[in-house]
Amino acid sequence: MTEISEGRLSSRVRNLQPSAIRRMLAASSRPGMISFAGGLPAPELFDVSELQEAAGAVLSRNSHSALQYGATEGVIGLREELVQIMNRRGLRTDVDKIIVTTGAQQALELIGKVILDKGDVVLVERPTYTTAIQTFRLCGANVLGVDSDNDGLRTDALERKILELRYQGLRPRMIYVIPNFSNPAGWLTSIERRRLIAEVAVRQKVLVVEDDPYGDIYFGSPPAPPIYAFADKSKESAPWFCYLGSLSKIVAPGLRIGWAVLPSDLVQPITIAKQGSDLQGSTYTQYVAQYYLRSGRLPEHLLMIRKAYSERCKLLSEALRRNLGHRVEYLQPKGGLFVWVKLLNDINAEDVVEKAIAHGVVYVPGGPFYSDNPNLDTLRLTFATAQQGDIEEGTRRLAAVLCVEPRA
């Protein structure tokens, strides 16, 4: 890394580390490397012909408005389509509460900017999305993990932690959760936990931010409705729920279309913060997304990607069982793009990653997915972009590195 002169950086960024995932992605592109790292959707599954059609139609029919500046909140026709998506996911809302963002990532940043002061506490699952941890820290937050299990965030631990923090004079301001097929853990928050998280949020007056880029990628039945949908309709409940969606994993990340369903009182502050950040998202890709969603093509496309990812997930799970079965534990994912693996032989996944790269296989060590007290014997694998033949060979290479004899 280039050396940076003393005192040059703000205190906000001084201690930030480059993302471990980006480092692993660099290794992924080496010749002959089998990569289970990264979290990219599979490019061969993009709906290129329909998107091409949408892009062409937008330029021939709506070029003046699609190439012009637009409203900070987003293109109204797209927001109407997003209301329909939310209805299908079990949350009734209206366009006035939806803001289109440059990926869900920007929504995380804007919410952080708008509600967090230096030292405020954000509570997250253990483990959670590493870039969310970094984003909230950049907003000055103290990010703390709450014990979680295969049903998601443990609500008994959550409420206890909130009360303890208050007793210490700290301000818990946000509960950040990924209820559907979490990145990295792959777990699905149970319906009962959703209800309990909603109750804790209202009782303790803490904003729940639920981040849901993977909910439509389910392999069996669809997930329960969003936590937001468990809020009762009272005035007391309304301010404590916020839902983030994204087209990145279900259509294409290059469009950079995400959205936030916000409590009414946050709509204006978030809009002002977005103006200061980028004025607006790309009008052009919003029009393309609007055209694509209106074409009615998405449900069929989702069927296709669910099938493809579910097959890849099965291949990886079976290969893990065959080649590393007695040395690892993992939860069979019911959707999403990831398998979260715990090493049973006390190996530190960070220590062996260089050895793995030398053996031609790369994964993401689990440490960066923890805000505090990392479990270093964990790692994240993605099946999304691994090619069929590579999955078997990749797990054999992993087994060799983790000193396990693959079974015949």
What is the binding site for ligand PMP (CB under 6 A)?
A: 39, 103-105, 129, 178, 183, 211, 213, 246, 248, 253, 258
Q: Estimate to the nearest angstrom the gap between the alpha carbon of 198 and the chain centroid.
A: 20
To ligand PMP, the closest distance from the beta carbon of 178 in angstroms equals 5
Give the ranges where 295-347 is alpha helix by DSSP (H): 298-324
Could you say which DSSP state residue 36 is in?
-
End-to-end Cα spacing for the chain: 44
Q: Which two tokens stand for residue 162?
A: 């909130």
CB-closest chain residue to ligand PMP = 103
By the 10 Å C-beta count (0-12 exposed, 13-18 middle, 19+ buried), 76 is classed as middle
Residue closer to ligand PMP, measured from CB, 135 or 310? 135
CB of 183: closest distance to ligand PMP in angstroms?
Answer: 4
> Which residue number, 39 or 360, has a Cβ lying nearer to ligand PMP?
39
Q: How far is the CB of 65 from ligand PMP (least distance, A)?
A: 24
Nearer to ligand PMP, 213 or 333 (CB): 213
- The H or E element that residue 288 is part of is helix 283-294
104 or 266: whose CB is closer to ligand PMP? Answer: 104
CB of 259 to ligand PMP, least distance (A): 9
Q: What angle do CA 153, 218, 133 make, to 5 degrees?
A: 40
- Distance separating alpha carbons of residues 82 and 88, to the nearest angstrom: 10
CB of 131 to ligand PMP, least distance (A): 7
What's the closest the beta carbon of residue 246 comes to ligand PMP, in angstroms?
A: 3
The residue (of 336 and 367) whose beta carbon lies closer to ligand PMP is: 336
In a 13 Å sphere around the CA of 286, the CA atoms on its Cβ side amount to: 29
Question: Between residues 202 and 228, which has the closer beta carbon with respect to ligand PMP?
Answer: 228
Strand pairing report for 338-343 and 241-246: unpaired
CB neighbour class for 50 (10 Å; exposed up to 12, middle 13-18, buried from 19): middle
